Chains A and B, each alone.
Chain A
Amino acid sequence: MATILVVDDDPDICALLEFKLSGGGHTVTVEHDGEAALAALEQQPIDLVLLDWMMPRMGGLEVCLAMRTDQRFAHIPVLMLTAKAQEADVQRGLAAGADDYILKPFSPREVAARIDASLARAVR
């Protein structure tokens, strides 16, 4: 099973995802802003990042761009989980290097399934 970094400034969403994903056998690390997420990446091996877009200090898009330009983290799958639903936003998210883009309100079961699919692709 994988180590997943969940980054969202909403503590209720973090608690829900932590519960769901750890129930699926994953180890979950939670951070509430972009800067803390990058610090967490430096500190421990992470297999996948689930990233909100709009957060204090540093947004998800910047985190994604920073990861993609750093050799150490460029290979880690990133799933954006955001309320930014405009077509242009989805394009920006994917262009920044996100592997998948999930809109809020979201289905936690669907998020878990997409995470598993991303992890399986990453292994292949």
Chain B
Amino acid sequence: MVDANGGLVLLLTEVLTGLVVLLVLATTVARAWRRRRERAVARAEAQARPIVLAALDGEAEAGGPSSRLQARVERQLEFLAAGLAGKLRGADRAALVELLRRRGIVDRARERTRSLLARRRLRAVEQLGALGVAEAVPELVARLEDSDAEVRRAAVRALGRTTSPAAVPALLALLDAPRRTESAHYITLALLRIGPGAAEKLIRALDTHGPRGRAAAAKVLGWLGETSAVVALTRALDDDEDDVRAAAVDALGRIGLPTAAPRMRELLAPGGSASVRLAATVALGRLGDPASTEVLSALLDEEPSEHRHRLARAAATSLAHLGGRGHQALRDAAYVPEAGEVLAGLDLPAPEPAPAATRATSTSTGGRR
């Protein structure tokens, strides 16, 4: 019995010793392999870096633009140039993108957007976004319908970064897609990132796209301050959808042409859509026309309703933007909590004491309440 136990202990000890030796060997080999790999990467990086830096100075690559490099060097060049391009702007960024284009790296990234692996598709889409290459718009648009949500989100961002107007219709259509999962806010931001080049397509979209697309188009035109959109936006004030009308009102307020003020004042009529009235209230403050003082003051005295507080708060803020007449209207309505709050924040100097005759008149007629 003792012998059998002793044999078992001996066997276990031998097995354990063997395992420890194997573990030490495996660790040593892995370490050596890692060190070798790191040295190879460092060597590849040392070869790739001068090519990338020379491209910034507009120097031709040694051996011509299509000279073959070892696969590892090519990978490092891609990694370095694409990484740097995302950190730069201006002519140096353009030079790096051109280098990647010449070496076929942009085309390879476009192909990788069709990879079977979601991870590879995501990396390719992010890379094309970081480089902002307009020729990749068709591949990026195709990825808006990717089976992977992360890839779809990256495609939205990347389309914005291309700054290509060709991306506008697809982004607007995505907003109106029945089973969209991407946030409308991010899609709208991507449209904004495209910049003034998107204006023409956004103006056209006000007549052609679905309600969410039309509303986003109006919003972005306003953020861009696109004066060429004023006629189309004014037409959109008669749109069937409240959201589109509210977005058009907001946009006209941001663009800031004073000629829009009379129409905005009409939209404040009681009984209209709450979102449109709220947008018009804010817009009138942006337009800064003192002739809006009376309609805005009237909003402070509206009957209690679900939207009264927001409307009164917006009206008080807009009055604050109208200068002397607006400030006086706020003083006159200081008994309304929203007006009092805005007035306190303005920290205005005390009003001039009224002449005796005026004071007598005002005493005899009393206040508004």
Q: Tell me the A residues contacting B by CB distance below 8 Å.
A: 10, 12-13, 15-16, 19-20, 23, 104-110
Structural contact, B56 and A20, CB atoms closer than 8 A: yes
Partner of B90, one of A12, A15, A109: A109
- Top 8 nearest A-B pairs (CB, nearest first) are A107-B90, A19-B53, A105-B89, A108-B92, A107-B89, A105-B87, A105-B88, A12-B84
Partner of A19, one of B56, B90, B93: B56
B86 on interface, CB distance cutoff 8 Å = yes
- Chain A: CB-nearest residue to B83: A12
Partner of B88, one of A15, A19, A23, A107: A107
B232 on interface, CB distance cutoff 8 Å = no
Structural contact, B83 and A105, CB atoms closer than 8 A: no
Bound-complex Cα distance A110 to B92 (A): 10
Structural contact, A15 and B49, CB atoms closer than 8 A: yes
Task: Report A82 CB to chain B, min CB distance, Å.
Answer: 12
Known contacts: A108-B92, A109-B92. The answer to whether A13 contacts B87 by CB under 8 A is yes
- Chain B: CB-nearest residue to A23: B57
Bound-complex Cα distance A15 to B92 (A): 14
- Chain A: CB-nearest residue to B87: A105
Q: Which parts of B84-101 form the interface with A (CB within 8 Å)? A: 84, 86-93
Structural contact, B92 and A107, CB atoms closer than 8 A: yes
Residues of chain A within 8 A of B56, CB atoms compared: 16, 19-20, 108
Q: Tell me the B residues contacting A by CB distance below 8 Å.
A: 49, 53, 56-57, 80, 83-84, 86-93
Structural contact, B86 and A15, CB atoms closer than 8 A: no
Partner of B53, one of A10, A15, A104, A106: A15
Task: Report A79 CB to chain B, min CB distance, Å.
Answer: 16
Residues of chain A within 8 A of B80, CB atoms compared: 12
Bound-complex Cα distance A107 to B88 (A): 6
Bound-complex Cα distance A104 to B87 (A): 7
Could you pull out 20 A-B pairs where Cβ atoms are within 8 angstroms?
Answer: A12-B80, A12-B84, A12-B87, A13-B84, A15-B49, A15-B53, A16-B53, A16-B56, A16-B88, A23-B57, A104-B87, A105-B87, A105-B88, A107-B89, A107-B91, A107-B92, A107-B93, A109-B90, A109-B91, A109-B92
Residues of chain B within 8 A of A19, CB atoms compared: 53, 56
Residues of chain A within 8 A of B87, CB atoms compared: 10, 12-13, 104-106
Bound-complex Cα distance A107 to B56 (A): 11
Bound-complex Cα distance A34 to B144 (A): 43
Residues of chain B within 8 A of A20, CB atoms compared: 56
Task: Report B230 CB to chain A, min CB distance, Å.
Answer: 30
User: Which of A15, A16, A104 has the most chain B CB within a 10 Å cutoff?
Assistant: A16
User: Which of A15, A20, A108 has the most chain B CB within a 10 Å cutoff?
Assistant: A108
Task: Report B113 CB to chain A, min CB distance, Å.
Answer: 24
Bound-complex Cα distance A108 to B92 (A): 7
Q: A19-B53, A20-B56 are in contact. List 4 more A-B contacts (CB 8 A).
A: A13-B87, A16-B88, A105-B86, A106-B88
Bound-complex Cα distance A108 to B89 (A): 8
- Chain B: CB-nearest residue to A18: B53
- Chain A: CB-nearest residue to B50: A19
Residues of chain B within 8 A of A106, CB atoms compared: 87-89
Bound-complex Cα distance A15 to B83 (A): 13
Residues of chain A within 8 A of B92, CB atoms compared: 107-109
Task: Report B73 CB to chain A, min CB distance, Å.
Answer: 16
Task: Report B159 CB to chain A, min CB distance, Å.
Answer: 19
- Chain B: CB-nearest residue to A13: B87
Task: Report A115 CB to chain B, min CB distance, Å.
Answer: 15
Residues of chain B within 8 A of A10, CB atoms compared: 87
Residues of chain B within 8 A of A110, CB atoms compared: 90
- Chain B: CB-nearest residue to A105: B89
Bound-complex Cα distance A20 to B88 (A): 13
Task: Report B173 CB to chain A, min CB distance, Å.
Answer: 30
Residues of chain A within 8 A of B53, CB atoms compared: 15-16, 19
Residues of chain A within 8 A of B93, CB atoms compared: 105, 107
Known contacts: A23-B57, A108-B56. The answer to whether A16 contacts B84 by CB under 8 A is yes
Task: Report A13 CB to chain B, min CB distance, Å.
Answer: 6
Residues of chain A within 8 A of B89, CB atoms compared: 105-107
